[in-house]
Structure 1
């Protein structure tokens, strides 16, 4: 069995937690700030359309990635799992937003097993860039 890789990226953001959360929770708006070209909802969650059970389809380079939201606690915690499309297995991710001073702390963590040698570096780079871009967008908007 392939090694389980774990990564966590933390950013202190000069923006209110609600502002950061609004970006996290808006799946279809991700392409405005992330490396993803487009995001569509294949299936809505319940009771919130972006909540638990929602399946989002992310398009980067290569095949589309399908992720399902597994935890949706408005204003502070979102968790998801990869359904298909990436060169990894057992992929889960979490995004936590907490108050920090006059702003927010964002922690985006993932764990997965790489199916191909070196895939962990590419996946980690995409998440690192996504977390950085989310932090920048929260300050700009």
Structure 2
């Protein structure tokens, strides 16, 4: 199952890219989140192969994700290693310059076939996109 959310932010693509790929900086725009790099990417710390651990307050386990696509400044993709309730969970963000702004296409995927999963993915997708847009707008 797949869910895509789209927004345009009035910031240049390089600013949006820098915000999106600063894993530890996610703590600045994700309410209550703590993000650490368990394994740095190569050749860039936040790039291909990086493993990030996203922790939130409360009893939920940390989400561990691996960067599987890193094509600056246009495509960033990750897959969950653990901590998410959706089987086969992955995400991809595509950035496209639009004038002086940036179009953000954020897609979440899951291998689940149970129809309510699509609704849950869509809800999560909207929340993540709104957070990213707010963070990019402030950058």
TM-score (norm. length: structure 1): 0.87
The alpha carbon displacement at 1:128 in A equals 1.4
- Residues matched between the structures, number: 137
**Runs of 5+ unmatched residues, structure 1:** none
Q: Which runs of 4+ in 1 moved over 3 A?
A: 113-124
Counterpart position of 1:83: 81
Q: Which residue of 6, 13, 27 maps to 1:10?
A: 6
Change beyond 3 A, Cα 1:105–1:117: closer
Change beyond 3 A, Cα 1:83–1:52: same
TM-score (norm. length: structure 2): 0.88
Name the CA distance, whole Å, in 2 between partners of 1:84 and 1:115: 19
- Which structure shows the bigger proportion of residues in strand conformation? 1
CA contact (8 A) 2:3 2:121 kept: no
Counterpart position of 1:95: 93
**Runs of 5+ unmatched residues, structure 2:** none
Indicate the SS of the match to 1:71: strand
